[in-house]
Amino acid sequence: MNFPGIGLLKGFVVTARNFLGSYVEKDRLTTRQYPEERPKLPENSRSFPFLVFDGEDPEAGMRCVACKICEKECPPQCIYIIQDRDAAGKPLKRPRIFDIDISVCMSCQICVEVCPFESIRMDTDYELSSFDRFGSLVLDKSKLLKSNAYYHGIHPTEASETDARIEADRKKKEAAAAAKAEAARKATAEKAAKAAHPPEETK
């Protein structure tokens, strides 16, 4: 230390530089005028989960098959699913009720990771405050279902990867089905051939 007061003065120089710098340097003036000026969120940003559907009709294009894996894995248990049944009472591969209580949800993304059907994804919407403490924070199926186009809008890279994966899966399945059909066709053809020309019996 040189003489008393020099450290203080140095500090004042720093504050002065920051004060004056805030007029010219963007780096030093970091305040954003929030409602008018919105930050651009990074692509990986996440808030709460939503359900993806393909095509135009949310009910028909729903990817969720009500397997309840996310319900089981959810750490704070904020997901509630009831499987749909047809008139005869047979379980259908879609949920009748799918609720997420976002007042309980902690945005951990584990439901997204465990979903084998690429159905549940993270939204980026963070303006969810409401006056109703209970009702409007429990999101039901109609509020959760959002189109694949919307998903592409908020997470373009991730959505394209997902689409590619689904496409590859579908192709694989088709190929498997085609191979199976081919095998079946061959088998019937052989049978027919055998029936037409019974092989000579060997003794």
Pairing of strands 79-85, 91-101: antiparallel
Q: Which of 25, 92, 107, 130 binds another protein (CB under 8 A)?
A: 107
Q: Are 132 and 39 in contact (CB under 8 A)?
A: no
Sign of CA dihedral 185, 189, 195, 201: negative
Q: Does 102 bind another protein (CB under 8 A)?
A: no
Measured from the CB of residue 141, what is the shortest distance to another protein in angstroms?
Answer: 12
Binders of another protein among residues 160 to 199 (CB under 8 A) are none
Measured from the CB of residue 88, what is the shortest distance to another protein in angstroms?
Answer: 24
Beta-carbon neighbour count of residue 62 at 10 Å? 22
Cα–Cα distance measured from residue 103 to residue 78, given in angstroms and rounded to the nearest whole number: 8
How many distinct helices (H) and strands (E) make up the chain?
6, 6
Cα–Cα distance measured from residue 110 to residue 141, given in angstroms and rounded to the nearest whole number: 19
Pairing of strands 145-147, 49-53: parallel
The DSSP H or E segment spanning 122 is strand 120-122
* Angle 99-72-163 from CA coordinates, rounded to 5°: 70
Longest dimension (CA), the chain: 119
Q: Does 130 bind another protein (CB under 8 A)?
A: no
User: Which CB, 1 or 195, lies closer to another protein?
Assistant: 1
Q: Does 14 bind another protein (CB under 8 A)?
A: yes
Q: Does 77 bind another protein (CB under 8 A)?
A: yes
| Interface stretch with another protein, choices 2-10, 50-58, 164-172, 188-196 (CB under 8 A) | 2-10
Q: Which of 88, 134, 142, 197 binds another protein (CB under 8 A)?
A: 134
Q: Does 104 bind another protein (CB under 8 A)?
A: yes
How many residues contact another protein, by CB under 8 A?
42
User: Which CB, 9 or 87, lies closer to another protein?
Assistant: 9
Measured from the CB of residue 172, what is the shortest distance to another protein in angstroms?
Answer: 19
Residues that bind another protein (CB under 8 A): 1, 4-8, 10-11, 13-15, 18, 28, 30, 41-46, 69, 73-75, 77, 80, 97, 99, 101, 103-104, 106-110, 113-114, 122, 134, 138, 157
